[in-house]
Amino acid sequence: MRHRLRTPEAAKLYKKRGATVESVNGMIKDRHRLRRFSLRGLTARLGELNLTATTHNLRRLFTTLHTTTTT
């Protein structure tokens, strides 16, 4: 990891990661209550994660479209 953060530009980009990637993981854990997988096996867990990510994206899309059309 240290070799990736050698340049100031890379460090600046990595700093943004906390606001972009980590917040999505937190929302999925909190709002969708996905702290544990209920299925066994890698394929089943990937399916469960994909379903959760799809519902997360659909909710965000609905919220974005709903707030932009009513404003």
Q: What is the pLDDT of residues 37-70, one digit of tens each?
A: 888 999 999 999 898 889 888 988 998 888 776 5
Do the beta carbons of residue 52 and residue 28 sit within 8 Å?
yes
For residue 54, what pLDDT is reported? Answer: 92
**4-22, pLDDT tens digit by residue?**
778 888 888 887 776 666 7
Cβ–Cβ under 8 Å, residues 49 and 57: no
**55 is written with which tokens?**
């519902």
Q: pTM value?
A: 0.58
pLDDT band at 26 (very low <50, low <70, confident <90, very high): confident
**Predicted local confidence at residue 58, as pLDDT:** 92
Q: Distance between CA 34 and CA 40 in Å, rounded?
A: 14
Which one, of 51, 47, 31, 27, lies nearest residue 39 by Cα?
47
Quick one: tokens of 59? 């909710």
Report which DSSP code applies to 3: T
